[in-house]
Chains A and B, each alone.
Chain A
Amino acid sequence: MTPENAPVLIFLCPFVVALLLPVLRFDKRLAYYGAVVALAASAGLSYWGLTLVQNGTAISHFMGGWLAPYGIEWYLDSLSALMAFLVTSIALIVVFATGETVEREIGTVRIPYYTIALLHLSGLLGMILTRDFFNFFVFLEVASLTAYALVATGDNVRGNMASLRYLFIGTLGASFYLLGVGYLYAGTGTLNMTDMAARLPGFIGSRTAFLGILFIFLGLAVKMGLFPFHGWLPDSYAHASDSASALLAPLTTKVIIYSFIRIFFSVFQVSVIEQFSLDTVLLVVGAIAVIAGSFLAFVQTNFKRMLAYSTISHIGLIMLGIGLLEKTAFLGAVLHILNQAVMKAGLFLIAAAAAHRHGIRDILDFTRLRARMPWTLAAFILIALSMIGAPPLFGFFSKWYILLGAIKTGQHWVAVLVVGSSLLTALYFFRVLERIFFTSPPVSETVAEAPWRLLACTGLISIALFVFGLLAPKIFTWGLITLIPKGL
C-alpha cells in the first residue's frame, strides 16, 4: 500500500472482483455485495490518492518496473485523482442504490451483469489513470464493449438495436483514435504521453501531426457524444435497463471528456489548440449542442430520452467552457463535469425509481407520482434546480464560472449562450415539474416510495448538491492552484 502503487490499487479492486464474481455462483446476492464492497474499497483508495496529490504533486507507477518511455506509465495527479474519486463514488452510489432494480430487471443473469459493470468501471479507471496512448485505447475499448453489453440489458429488444448502433458508431470512433495514435507514433516514435509532449513541438508542423491530432479529436468526439456525433446517445440511454443507464449515463461520457482534456491540454498543449483553431471548433460545436440538445429535450415524452438530450446539451456547455481557453472558464467546465456526473446519476436513479415502483416512464404519466413518491420528488426538485443553475446549488457555480470566463475573454456571445442554456434547461425541467405538481389533482393514493436504498441515494445526491454548492468556491480556489494546465 505504498503511495507509488496507489494508481494501480484503485484500478485493481473492481477489476479483480469482476473476475472473481463468476466463480462465486452459489449465491446470486453475493454479486451485489461483492460489487458494492469492491467499489467502496476503490472509492476509499481514490480518496486516499486524492489526499496524496492534493498539493500538486503527482505519482507515477511504471508497470512491471519498465520505466517510461519504454514501459506503460500510470499517473495520478490532482485532476486524475479527482476524476477517479468521482467515478468510483458515483459508481458506488449507483450500484448500491440499484440493488432491487437489478434484481427485477436483470433477474437470473445478475452475476454476469455485475461482472460486466465492474469491468466497465475498471475500464473507466484505466482510462483515467493511464499515461500511455495505446494503453488508453485498450481501456477505452474495454469500457466501450462492456458499455455495449450494458446497453443491451433489460428485457426489451430495442435495447439490442440501440446497443448495435452504439457499437458501430463507437467502433468507428475507436478506430479513428487508433489511427490518430498511429500517425503520432509514426512521427514521434513514442506512445508515452509525457514523452510525446516533449517530442511533439519538433514535429508539429507536418501534415502527419495534424492528421494525428485530428483523428484523435474525432475519435474522442464520437465517444463523448459531442454534436454531431451524438446519434448513439439518446437511444442507448433510453432503451438500456434502468440500472444500466444509471451507471452509464453519468460516467462514460465524462471520463472521455476528461481524457480529451488530458490529451489536448497536457500533451498537445494550448499552443497546438490555438494553432489548429480547435478552440473555435469547440465553441461552435458546443453552441450548437447546447441549443439543439435543449430543444430536442423539450419535445421528448420519454423521461430518460429527455435526460439523454439534456446530457448532450450540457456536454456542449462543457465544451464551451473548455474552448474559451481561460482559467476561470476551464475550472467551471471541470466543475461542470463533476456536477453533471452527480446530477445525472441522481436523475437516472429517479427514473429508475419511477419505473421500478410504478412502471412510469413517460413524462405525461408523471402526474401520478405526486401523491405516491413525495420524497423522491423533493429530491427531483433540488436536482432539477441545480441543473437549471439556481444558486446556491452546485449547478449555479459551475455555470457561473464559465459565464465569468466568457465575459473575461470578451466572448459575449458565449456568455449569452451560457445564460441561455440555463433558460433552456429550465424550459424542459419545468415542463416536467408542471406536469407533476400542477396538473390534474391526484386521486388520493397511498405513498409507495422507492426502495429505501434508491431513495437514500437520491436524497444523498440532492443534499450533496446543496453542500457542494456552498463548498464550490473552496474547490474553485484549490483548482486554481492545482488543476489548471500549463499555458492557460
Chain B
Amino acid sequence: MTPKFIGLFNYTAALILVLFGIYALITQKNLIRKIIGMVILQTGTILFYISLAAKHGAAIPILIDQGHHAVIDPQHYANPLPHALMLTAIVVGVSTLGVALSLIASIFKHYGTLEEDEILIKMESSK
C-alpha cells in the first residue's frame, strides 16, 4: 500500500483562491469586499497547507495502543503538522479580520460610507 498524495486538483484550487483573493483585495472599491478578498486569500493558503498533509488511504493521526512491539509507520498516517499550523493560521486570520472590521466600523462612523474612492474624496476635502 504505497501512499500517494492526492492529485493536483487541490493545489489548483488553492492557487485560484489565492489569486482571486489578491484580485479582490486590490481592485475592489468597497472596503467590505476587500476584506472578503483578504479572507479568501488566507483560505487559499490554508487549503494549500492542508493539501500537503493528506495522503491516499491514510489513517487519521491518532495513536491507538497496539502494544509495545507494534511498529508505527508514519507513512500510514496523515501528516498532523500542517493541520496544527493551520489552526494557528486560522486564528491569526480571525484576529486580523476582527481588527479590520473594527477599523471599518470606526471609518464608517466618521465618513458614512465604505467606498474607498468616496472616502478619499472626503479626506482630501477635509484637509
Contact = CB atoms under 8 A, between A and B. Distances in A.
Interface of A: 134, 137-138, 141, 145, 148-149, 152, 157-158, 160-161, 163-164, 167-168, 171-172, 174-175, 178-179, 182, 185-186, 191
B18 A149 contact: no
A145 B103 contact: no
Interface string B22-55: 1001000001001000100110010011001000
Given A164-B103, A168-B38, A179-B45, A145 B96 contact: yes
B92 A164 contact: no
B103 A182 contact: no
Classify the interface of chain A: helix, strand, loop or mixed: helix
Given A145-B96, A164-B31, A168-B38, A182 B48 contact: yes
B103 A160 contact: yes
Given A145-B92, A178-B89, A179-B45, 20 more contacts: A137-B89, A145-B96, A148-B103, A149-B99, A152-B106, A157-B106, A157-B111, A161-B123, A163-B103, A164-B100, A164-B104, A168-B25, A168-B34, A172-B38, A179-B18, A179-B48, A182-B52, A185-B52, A186-B52, A191-B81
16 contacts: A134-B88, A137-B89, A138-B88, A138-B92, A141-B92, A141-B96, A148-B99, A160-B106, A161-B119, A163-B103, A164-B100, A167-B96, A168-B100, A175-B45, A179-B48, A182-B52
A199 B52 CA distance: 18
Contacts of B16: none
Nearest to B34: A168
Interface residues of B, number: 30
Q: Which 4 A-B pairs have the closest CB atoms?
A: A157-B110, A141-B92, A164-B103, A160-B106
A219 to B, nearest CB: 11
Interface in B81-111: 81-82, 85, 88-89, 92, 95-96, 99-100, 103-104, 106-107, 110-111
Contact of A161 (B42, B99, B107): B107
A303 to B, nearest CB: 16
Nearest to B31: A164
Contacts of A157: 106-107, 110-111
A175 B25 CA distance: 12
A325 B49 CA distance: 34
A415 to B, nearest CB: 38
A212 to B, nearest CB: 12
Nearest to B37: A168
A164 B104 CA distance: 8
A187 to B, nearest CB: 10
A160 B25 contact: no
Q: Which among A137, A163, A164 has the highest number of chain B CB atoms within 10 Å?
A: A164
Contacts of B111: 157
A171 B31 contact: no
A185 B83 CA distance: 13
B45 A172 contact: no
A444 B92 CA distance: 55
Given A164-B31, A182-B45, A182-B48, A171 B96 contact: yes
A158 B38 CA distance: 21
Contact of A182 (B38, B49, B104): B49
Contacts of B104: 164
A440 to B, nearest CB: 24
Nearest to B11: A186
Contacts of B123: 158, 161
Nearest to A169: B25
A180 to B, nearest CB: 10
A152 B103 CA distance: 8
Q: Which of A149, A163, A175 is the most central at the interface, judged by chain B CB atoms within 10 Å of its CB?
A: A175
A476 to B, nearest CB: 39
Contacts of A179: 18, 45, 48
Contact of A175 (B41, B81, B85, B100): B41
Nearest to B120: A161
Contacts of A145: 92, 95-96, 99
A161 B120 CA distance: 9
Contacts of B42: 171, 175
A186 B119 CA distance: 43
A172 B89 contact: no
Nearest to A148: B99
Contacts of B25: 168, 172
B25 to A, nearest CB: 6
A344 B113 CA distance: 36
